Structure 1
Amino acid sequence: MRYLSVMKAWTRLHNSFAAAVLPMMLCIGLSAAAIVAAGPAFGQTAKLDELFDKLKSADPAQAGRIEQEIWIEWSKSGSAAMDLLLQRGRQAMSEGNFALAVEHFTALIDHAPEFAEGWNARATAYYQMGQIGPSMADIAQTLRLNPRHFGALSGFAMILEELDRPKQALELRRAVQAIHPHAAGVSQAIDRLEADLQGSSL
């Protein structure tokens, strides 16, 4: 599945899940159409394009190394000060201090609102604190800026499963697989969700 197909799947997700997700997006000035329309303009560099092309045809061992390179590229804000805020927030998360992590990530977002990884990191911290609404809002911002963010897509799918939205979660898992065929656990999650949905339809 090519990039356009992934965006179409993402559009279908928003259409089917609008009642639950769009209110939060609208609160931060977003809409599903805006996310999809903005997709091609954000989160892309020549190096990342090359890495994602390699990712689709890599074997599992190669995919792991390429994924690490992608995360390194995603973590570059272009500012040493902003990179330090990201590092401090991640350190706070690793120590279980999620409130402090949110403070660091919020400062990062305030100073660099177009840096997708700041939003993604705060989404993770919010999720760890049990704040699902803010986490989903930050995931929406992450994907507006970087539609290929397989980490954010996977996190969104996990939340949808917790909200008993297996059909929408499956669409997102398939979108992740299209971008990153060897993403951790994606094949198993797709198999499980397909089996669950097939069983519920019997």
Structure 2
Amino acid sequence: MDSLSINSLLEDLKNPDLVVREQATKKLWRIWFQQKGIYGLERIDQSQKLLDAGEMSEAETMLTALIKDQPDFAEAWNRRAFLYYSMGDYKQSLADCQMVIQINPVHFGALHGMGLCYAALGRYGDAIKAFKRALDIQPYSLVNQKLILECTLRLS
């Protein structure tokens, strides 16, 4: 998909119409997951099945191999960040989220993940910044608005 289409979808995330925003969100996720074609998508799906089965080590091995093979595949980094977050390894998750943002600066999922990691580490100011960056892309995200309020309360 060309950058013009992606820019159009990013604009749709700011639309007051909920249906337009939801469709744009789904399309962006689909683009990100399909960035490396069937091979990448299948590997991510397999890693998710391992994660769902509680086989964290196997899922991590699979995602790490995918990242090594396709280092510019932002969603592979993002899925591993989610895995690390699920395991309580917030620093490693944060490092992977930062890689996602280097590859895809508008990845609102990774920005949200960064905020969650910073909050888990007690770095509420950094969490607020990450959630605000996600809100710049997805201004109607109630979860990020709520998390900014929660982190702000923890700072006071």
- Is TM > 0.5 for Structure 1 vs Structure 2? yes
Secondary structure of 1:57's partner?
A: coil
The residue number in structure 1 matching 2:44 is: 86
Q: 1:122 to 1:54 in 2, by over 3 A?
A: same
Larger Rg over CA atoms:
1
Equivalenced residue count is 155
Aligned to 2:106: 148
- Percent identity over the alignment? 28
1:86-140 CA distance string (max 9 Å, x none): 1111222223322221122112111111110010101111121222232122111
Counterpart of 2:46 in structure 1: which amino acid? Answer: R
Compute the displacement of 1:48 (Å): 1.5
Return the alpha-carbon distance in structure 2 between the equivalents of residues 164 and 135 of structure 1.
Answer: 15
Q: Deviation string for 1:172-199 (max 9, x for gaps)? A: 11111110012251121223333443xx
Q: Does 1:137 align with 2:86?
A: no
Instruction: Decide which of 111, 126, 146 is 1:188's aligned counterpart.
Output: 146
**In the aligned structure 2, how far is the partner of 1:52 from the partner of 1:103?**
33
Cα distance in 2 for partners of 1:184, 1:96 equals 30
Alignment match of 2:17 (pick from 45, 49, 59): 59
Root-mean-square deviation over aligned CA pairs:
1.8
Question: Which structure 2 segments of 5+ residues have no match?
Answer: none
Distance 2:59 2:141 in 1: 26
Q: Does 1:160 align with 2:115?
A: no
Counterpart CA distance in 2 for 1:182 and 1:97 is 35
Letter in 2 for 1:114: D
SS in 2 for 1:130: coil
Structure 1, gaps ≥5 residues long: 1-43
Is residue 125 from structure 1 mapped to residue 83 from structure 2 by the alignment?
Answer: yes
Higher RCO structure, 1 or 2 (CA under 8 Å, sep 6+): 1
Letter in 1 for 2:73: F
TM-score with structure 1 length normalisation? 0.70
Residue 172 of structure 1 is aligned with which of 124, 130, 136? 130
